[in-house]
Amino acid sequence: MGCREWAAAAGWPLLVTSRDWLKADAVRGKLFTPVPPFAMASLLALSFFRQPQSKGPLRSGNKLRGRRRRCGEAAAAMDQLFGNLKGFFKTEFTVIDNNATVCILITFSLLVTARQYIGDPIDCISRDELPPNLIDTLCWIHTTYSLTDAWHKKVGVEVPYPGVEKYKQGEKRVYHAYYQWVCFVLFIQAVLFYVPRYFWKAVEGGRIKNLILGLHIPILPEEAKENSRKLLVEYLAINLNNHNILFYGYVVAEVCNFVNVVGQMLFMDMFLGGEFFSYGSKVLQFTDWDRSVGFDPLIKVFPRLAKCTFHMYGRSGDVQKHDALCILPMNIINEKIYVFLWFWFIILAVLSGVVLIYRAFDIFLPQIRFIVLRRRAMLANKDYVERVCDHCKLGDWLVLNLLCKNMDPVNFRALIKDYVRRLDHKSIDNA
């Protein structure tokens, strides 16, 4: 049942004609959009609670009509709100959802920022008579460190904590300065993940949205459908073989997406001191059932307890060395974030690599392009789809795929039929 029938069932008059629809974009978007489940439920609920109209002559309908109008506006606002939320996560690429990755990274960045600058990121203790706040600030600025020889020693017997023991001259230290930059790095990664999408949107320039001409709406009036299809078919016929730059931009965006994922994995490995690539696998090995790793790899990358050494002037004016033991509670959050990112980036890298292989088949095998368009346009005639693919180059094929992805299937079937007729007519004219 369409929007008009639901409105009639709820007692709401629809006074918009097809001529008004053709004139007003705003009306078209609100009254002829397919009713999603949440908006449909709202319409039904409001129809149950509406007051019945009085049959008496003294009953005025102005108040009732005003209430219905306000309810209709509320339902439309709810529909638009949820539609925007759903559209925010809609990806332009075949597999990779860059918006989801951007949201994840920004959320992690805000979480770490709140813990780092609003909470208490470090707590240090020392035997020296120094103010605790001063020790915390100095150790935060000068960074903490762990001793590599103490990572594999037995906790509670040889060392109090992995990586923490009395420093011996010449012993190797590993400084942990990167956790101060985690929030900034995550934000920069989010920006970089948006670059391929931004590039594609700049190349595409809203062309597909402008070409739809309302054909994504299944309950569009028949006259409006014919007019929109006629305009779209004429555009496709005139611009046949002129969309290759769009296809090349699409491929470049997918290549940038793959390079971005792999490049960020290399950067994170360098950022974490060469520990990122083996991070997730070691975490999987270190479980309650398998202790073959020997110690928790999370502690090695993000220690919760570390040492700090700094120098200050003493009471006699001499330079004195101060040692402190620091607790890093924010690393509990950091370690969980990077465990998730390890798995997430592995999945993204595999999927984006598969997309590039698939795109190579699209370029070199016309049969694959036919199969893809046929699968998208299941309602269209097979012979029509084959004839369209024979006439179209890569750019035209991509435009048809994007149109099919965004159009109502019934309208796209009619579009393919009209397009084949137009191509046949063009071939006769050229002959």
Domain assignment of residue 131, yes or no: yes
| One domain, residues 113 and 66 | no
Which residues on neighbouring strands pair with residue 321, listed in sequence order?
311
Q: Which of 289, 311, 343 is the last residue of a domain?
A: 343
Domain assignment of residue 214, yes or no: no
Domain assignment of residue 380, yes or no: no
Domain assignment of residue 423, yes or no: no
| One domain, residues 77 and 112 | no
The parent domain of residue 178 ranges over 106-185+266-343
**Which pTM does this prediction carry?**
0.71
Reply yes or no on whether the pLDDT at 200 is more than 50: yes
Domain assignment of residue 372, yes or no: no
| One domain, residues 58 and 124 | no
| One domain, residues 44 and 147 | no
Residues 6+ apart with CB under 8 A from 126: 135, 322, 323, 324, 325
Higher per-residue confidence, 360 vs 216: 360
| One domain, residues 161 and 24 | no
Distance between CA 22 and CA 20 in Å, rounded? 5
Reply yes or no on whether the pLDDT at 288 is more than 90: no
| One domain, residues 77 and 110 | no
| One domain, residues 169 and 285 | yes
Residue 87, both tokens? 């559209």
Tell me the pLDDT tens digit for each residue of 25-49. 333 333 333 444 434 444 333 443 3
Tell me the pLDDT tens digit for each residue of 75-125. 444 444 434 433 433 334 444 457 889 999 999 999 999 988 887 888 998
Higher per-residue confidence, 13 vs 401: 401
Domain assignment of residue 349, yes or no: no
Q: How many CB atoms lie within 10 A of CB 171?
A: 12
Higher per-residue confidence, 352 vs 177: 352
pLDDT value at position 18? 36
| One domain, residues 7 and 82 | yes
Tell me the pLDDT tens digit for each residue of 213-225. 888 888 888 888 8
Q: How many domains does the chain have?
A: 2
| One domain, residues 179 and 271 | yes
The pair phi, psi for residue 147, each rounded to 5°, is -100, 125
Domain assignment of residue 320, yes or no: yes
Q: How far apart are the first and last CA of the chain?
A: 47
Domain assignment of residue 243, yes or no: no
pLDDT value at position 221? 87
Q: Which of 23, 56, 88 is the last residue of a domain?
A: 88
